[in-house]
Amino acid sequence: MKWAVVLCALVALTECMHKVPLYKGKSARETLEEQGLLDKFLKKHPYNPTAKFNSVFARASSKTLTNDYDLSYFGVISIGTPPQSFKVIFDTGSSNLWVPSVYCKSQPCTNHKTFDPSKSFTFRSTSRTVAIQYGTGAMTGILGYDTVTIGSIVDKSQVFGLSETEPGSFLYYVAFDGILGLAYPSISSSGATPVFDNMMNQGLVSQDLFSFYLSRDSQAGSVVTFGGIDPSYYTGNINWIPVTSQTYWEITMDNITVSGNVVACSSGCRAIVDTGTSLVIGPMNDIANIQSSVGASRGQNGEYTVNCNIAKSMPEVTFNINGVPFTLPSTAYVFQRTSGCSSGFGQDYNDLWILGDVFIRVYYSIFDRGNNRVGLAQAA
C-alpha cells in the first residue's frame, strides 16, 4: 500500500494539539505502470498484499504489512540541527523511526533524501545496529540519537535508524523516504524507544493519544494529530474499543457480514488498525468469501478485480466490533484506475486481520496510549 505533490510546512493546531498534514503520493504501482515495468515486477514479486512496507515495512516477525501496490499517506518531519527534512509514513503497524542515510549505497538510497550526521551538531552516534524485514523490502543500519521535529513538537534525543542497506528495488519507486512507527515499544526492533513514547516521556503532548483523518479520492486534508482529538474530522459519537495486545494496535472483532449474512470472522477474531497498510487484509478463506459475496474475481496477477460498471451497486461490508457495526460501502473498498477496478480486500496466510487505509478513510481513528484503547468515529 503506498505512496509529487507539493509539501507544505508542518503546523500546530493549538498549543496542546499538534496537527501534521499528510499527503497522498503516486503509488509504486502507478510509477511502475508508467515506466512499463509493472508486469516484470509482478512476475518477480508475486502479489502479496501483506507485504507491508511496513506500512510500510516493518515489523519484527509479524510486523506491519503494507500493500505495496497502492497509495499510502506520508508527512514531513525534520531530523538534526540544522534540520534535514524527510517524507515519512506515519505507521501504526510498526514502532521504529528510520530514514535513509549517507552510509547507504543501495539503489533506493540514490533517489531519496539521506541523513548526513556530520551536518548535525546535535547528533549522537551509537554502536547499536538495527534490521527490519518487510514484505517487499528491508533495511539494515545503525541507531543514532538526534532532535526530531514534527509540526510544532520538538522531540529531543530521539533514537532512530540510519539505513546502511535497503536491499531490493521496490523502495526505489516509492515517494516517501522512511518510516515513523507509532505502535507499542514491545515490537520495536533493537528495543529502540518509539517516537510517541519519547513525546509522552518528555511531556510534549497534553494527552497521551494521537488521531488520524485520511482523505479520499486523492484530495488534500489528511492529518495526524498528536495530543488531541479534532471534532471537525468526524461526526456522531466515538466508539471506544479496548486494545487486547500491546504490540500492534490490536483489537477484537465480533464478525464480518455482507447483506446481513456472516461471511468471515464467524467466531470472533484478532485485528489491528494499521495506517501503514492500504487494504483490509484477512485470512485466505475469509477473504475469498468476502470477495465472492461482493462480486469480485481473482485476476491474472493475484489481485481481485471488479466490474467497474457494477462497482457502485455492490453490497456493503460490515465489520462488527465491540458490539458496534462499522460499514464500508462499495465506494470505499473498490479502487478505480485507468487499467480497471480492483477490490480493497487482500488475503494473508495467518489469522490476524489488518484494518488498513480502506477502513480508516471511512472512520476517524484515535489511538489512545493513556487508556490502551482505539476510538473509531464516522469520518466527516
Contacts by 323-329 with C-beta closer than 8 Å and gap 24+?
323/254, 324/239, 324/376, 326/359, 326/362, 326/363, 326/376, 328/280, 328/358, 328/359, 328/362, 329/362
Spatial distance between the Cα atoms of 177 and 196, rounded to a whole number of angstroms = 19
Q: Are strands 269-273 and 353-355 parallel, antiparallel or unpaired?
A: parallel
Active site residues: 91, 274
Range 257-272 burial, b when 16+ CB lie within 10 A, else e: bbeeeebbbeeebbbb
